[in-house]
Structure formats: C-alpha cells, structure tokens
Structure 1
Amino acid sequence: MDARGLWALVCVLALVGCLVAFVPSASATSGGVGVVDSGPEQPLLQETANETDQTANETDQLDDADEVHIDVFVHENGAATFVVDYRFENDSDANWNTLRDDVEANPDAYAAEERDDWNAILEDGENETDREMEIRNVSVVTDVSTAPRELGHVEFTFEWTGFAYIELNRIEVGDALSGFTLPKDTTLQVFPPEGYVVDGVEPSPDDPPEGSVFWDGDGTEFTDDQPWIDLMEEGNASGPADESDPGPAMPWLTVAAALALLASVGAAGWWIRHEEILAPNGASSEAEPPAGTAEPATSGGDVTQGEQETNGPPPELLSNEERILQLLDQRGGRIKQQEVVSELDWTEAKTSQVVGGLREDGEIEVFRIGRENVLALPDDRESDD
C-alpha cells in the first residue's frame, strides 16, 4: 500500500472512532432509546414529600395550644355540634402567623387530621353504647381576639351523630365519651337543647354557667361512667338525683278520706248484719243475697271471678300497651321501666316507644328515681281500681 492509501485508511479509522465516541454521549443527553432519564422526576417527588411532611408538622403545632375549649351543643335528635377552639396567646407571634397562614392554605388537611383524632374517641363510644355514630361536616377557620387578652384561634366545627341516648322526655349525655380524658388547660362545656334543663350531673361541674355544664381539665377526673348528664324536658325535671326520692308525693288527704269512707261502710255493714241476726219473728240469721245477685261459683275446678280478674286474659290476646298496664296492675300501680324490659323480654327501644305512647295518652305517668325511669298509674286510675 502506498503512502496515499495508508493515509486514507488512517483517516477512515479516526472518523469511525469519533463516531463511536459521539453516539453514546448524544443518546445520554437526548433521552435516546434504551436510556432512562429520571433526573427531573426525583426532585419533584422529593418536593411533594417535603410539602406533606411540612403540613403534618404544622398540624402538630395544634398540640402546642395554650388552651383548648370544647363546646358541645346537644340536639333533641341525639346528635351534637362540637366546636373545638385551639387558642394561642400573643396572636402577633411569628409562630402563630405561620400556623394561621398554613391552616388557611391547607384547611382540608387540618380538617382531616382533626376528624381522625375524634374518630378514635368515637370508636370507643360505639363499642360502649352499641349505637351507630359518625363524625361529619368538619370545617376549620382562624380568628383573633383582643379581649380580655390577645389570642389566636384555630376553631374546628363538626357534627357527631348518635352522640346522646334519647328516652321519652329525657336525653342522657356522656356515654359516647367513654375513656375520654380532659387534659390540663382544656375545658368541656355541654349545652342542652332548647326546652331541656340539666337534671343530674356526674362528676360535679366546675362553676357551671347558667343553663349548661362546665368542667375544667385542671381539676376534673372522669371515671368509667363519666361524664354523665341527665337532660329533662322543662316541667318534668326532678332535681338532683337522689336514690331515696320516693317520686311524686302521695295524695295523703285523698287516701285518708278513702280509708275513712271504707271504715264507715264497714261499720254500717256490720251493724246491719248484726241487726238481721238478732231480728225478731224468727228471721233467719243468714242474710239472703239481694235480688238479682248471682250465686258464687262453687263447683270444683272452676276459675272464680276473683282469679279471672287477677290473671286476666292471656298475653297473646293483649296489645303492647295492655301488657304494660297489666304489669302495673300486678305491681300495685308502679314499676321500673327496666323491669318492663326484663319481664316482657322487649328491647329498650320498643319499651320506650310503647311507654311514650301511653304517657302521651295519659294512661301512665313517668318520673325519675336516681337514674331510672319509674312508670306509675295516674292517681285517678288507682282510686277507680
């Protein structure tokens, strides 16, 4: 090969070497086939994760609130509206401003976090009461106040369905908060619905405002059965629970008059019979029954009239209302509602419904002794019987 051919071969080899070196470099920079360019995606994922962590950290700042005030507005249907107010002193502080801006920028994240916290309490309440419950319509707002001191507020509002237990003319509050603790610097205030008053409270409230129940976490400890609040319709409240309370006062004057009348009738009957026995002209010493009076049944095995009145018709021939009235007759006119549940093997809901109907019709009266409902026949019905 001459010098010219050798030089041409060297040039070709140099050109091929340059092409081999250039192609991988070009592919790496242009995202060519077979090369994964993940550079831009990783920073974006990392940025999203950082934003989530930052929101969680900001949410945790609610735990640093100087005070937490929980207001519970009970409704007649057993639901309750909660207003949870996280309060921060010195609303001009940089930390408060940062928190306020973050809440306003991410209200859904804060609402979801608050819902999760209360759902944990709700689950304990459902297990304790066997009632279906739900926390819904959670919202959050921020605010500031200047009197009596400067405060920043992060305020959550939500509805808790199935919160209270309803029975006739009363609402029992507290069993849904089973296992609830009231930490220091936290208050709980419960407001009854319109037309209801507080009829019993455990434990004793702390300086309760009028028309509500108030506990301060600095000195309140709840036991397993607390908090407990008994709300009654106005006009039906019996005052503070007292196990020795015998219920409504007996009409003693009426009872005394009835006893006196019975004594007079008995004395008159004895005198008439005595006169008949000693009557002259050979009058029989056995008084004849008045005309038209049926002879008492004497045949063996027959049910007497007194026994029939005591036993009454068989239960399957009685309505639900009649069965309760029959129980009241058998118990002397009074019986605890829980005993009706046991005796008739009914659910509490069914018993409350039937009792409520009888009470509305004026067939029975309902009053409280301690924590129990007592059913009673009206005074006029007892005297008629």
Structure 2
Amino acid sequence: MVPRAFPVLLVLLFVAFPAVSAATSTAAAGVGPAAQSAQSQELDPENTTFHVQLRPNGDARWTIIERFNLTDENDTRAFETTRDAFLAGNSDRALLTEFRAANDAAATATGRDMALRNVSRDYEIDGDRGRLVLSFNWTNFAAVNGSRLSLQDAFYTPDGTWLTTLRSDQSLIISPPQGYTLTNSPPDSYFDNGNLRIDGGPTTTFERGDLDIVYEGDSTTQPGPNTGDFPLWTGMSLLLIVGLAAVLLYLNGQDEFPSVGSVGTDSDDGGDAPAPEPPAADGATDDIDAELLSDEERVERLLTRNGGRMKQARIVKETGWSNAKVSQLLSSMDEDGRIDKLRIGRENLISFPDEDVTEIED
C-alpha cells in the first residue's frame, strides 16, 4: 500500500531539502508540516539538480545538488548554519522520507525489490557560491533486459507517477553506464555532455509513460554488479597481446619488453626510461592508454602513483573533472570497497582500503 503521506510527495520531493529552503513556506503553503517548517532567515537555493548515474545492473546513484548564492556575510553565515544541520542529517529528513515513499510506491508498481542505501552528504563553499550534496543508491531502479536498461516504470506508482513536475529552477540529468547508447528519450529532453537532461519550466509536467527512457548496451555489455564499467574482454585482449609479445621477443632473443601502445613514461631524467613491467596481478594499469580506463580505474591509478592516498581536491585537479562528479564517483567506489574515504576537517582523504593513513601529509 502507498503510504498516506504520498499525496504530498511531489511537492516536498522537488522542493529539495524542504527544511532548509525559505521558498518552501510560500511555494508549498498548505502542503503539510514538513513543507512549512522553513525559517525566514534560511537561504533559498538558486537551483537544484537531480543527477541519476545508472549502472549496468539497474542500480542508480542519485545525487541531489542545491546551489546557493552567498551575496554577503549574512548569506554565508546562514549557509554555514544550514550546512551544519545538513551534515548532521537534521535538515533533509523530509526529502529522504519522500524519496523512500517514492521507492516503496515504485517497487509496488514494478514488482522489483527496491531500496535506498548508502546515503551520504557533502558540501562546498567556493567564493560566493555554496552547495549541498545529498547522494544515495537506489537499487533496481531501472528494468534490466539483457543489455537493455529501461527507466519508464521506475517513475510509476500503483495509481500514476511520483514525478509529476519539474520547476523552472530544477533539472533532471541521467547518465548511462559506459558502453550504453540512448535509444529512446522524452520529447523535451536534450543531450548535455553525453547525458540526457530535462530542464523544468512553468508547464513541465509528467504522466505515466512520458519518461520513456531506454539505453542499449553494446554486444560486449553484460548486466551485473558494477565493476567500473570496464569491459572484461578489453582487459583480456590487452593481456593476450602482452603475452604474445613476450613469446615473440623470447623466441627472437630480445631482452626488452615493449609496452602496449605508445604510452610515454613518467621518467624525467632525459635518458632512456627503463622498459615497463607487464601488468601486475593486482590490476595495475600504468601501461594502458588512459582512454581505455574506466573512471574508477583512473582514480586507482592516481592513488597508485601517489603512494596509495590522495586528498579529494587533488584528484579533482589532476583529472579535470567537476567536484560533483568526483564526489559521486568516490562515494560509489567507497561503497564498493575499492577505496576508503576519511573526513579530515573540511577535506576528504582518499586511500586504498589497506593503506595506513596514520601519517597524513599536509
């Protein structure tokens, strides 16, 4: 049965973090106590993004980003108060409650076993801008049929849909797993850096069937647990090439072992760099073209090159990725046990799970 609170889901859900938004008490007046709990001194977010990162097994990592303009010291102090409550988990209860209601309704409508797991919270202050980031895993969000991912029924409830509208200051962004191609999309959507994007507006509403979104994987894509979206056949092919090269060199009496492709080395002594070793058994990827690596493997290679630990801000700098993408990626890797995240003051220290972080460099 759909929870009794579900009729107010849409208004609460898309007034992101209703307890921290001053606009909630006016835009959602009469909706319910949670929607009316905002204080006048709290900030109104400039815009909100709902980002959905799909995985081959149908799970989705949701990342909700609220952006705030900090025009003066009063705004900055108000944001810091809001941030502290948010990090403590005291200002997003209504949002999580309504997402859980959506999860329960969608599970009932689809018959899939769904759950919200691994909730994380983060923030950022950059000059006159502030951001609050709420992330969680939504299991079995997409319907999986072979290498096809379909999102249409993920928004269903037994009586309709839990996503009925997007406001003008809200956007829904959906990112596919690596190797997947969009084959069906809603009329008002468009591509943005490889992602499917829908921007809200005064007349943006959805009914059952409107969000018919389908991705098709290539012939080598197989659904299953998320392993970094690096096709298994690619790694096997590279190992086969290395093995054949070793045999040929041995038969021809060669002493040096060539790397795969024309990848340069990190040696800066001006002389001939020593020939690279074949890929190690632990999955080292220094000899593989970065274009062939998944995002997770690029992070692992950075960690390997930096002694097994790095600050999150340095990963952002060296990859050139956005803070939001790195935060989402590291949360997913932490959840999968590939790395550990340690909060130190206002920074995250990223390390391999077996790395000793008792001595932390500045």
> What interval of TM-score do these two structures reach, taking the shorter chain for normalisation?
0.3 to 0.5
TM-score, normalised to structure 1's length?
A: 0.42
In terms of fraction of residues, the more helix-rich structure is 1
TM-score, normalised to structure 2's length?
A: 0.44
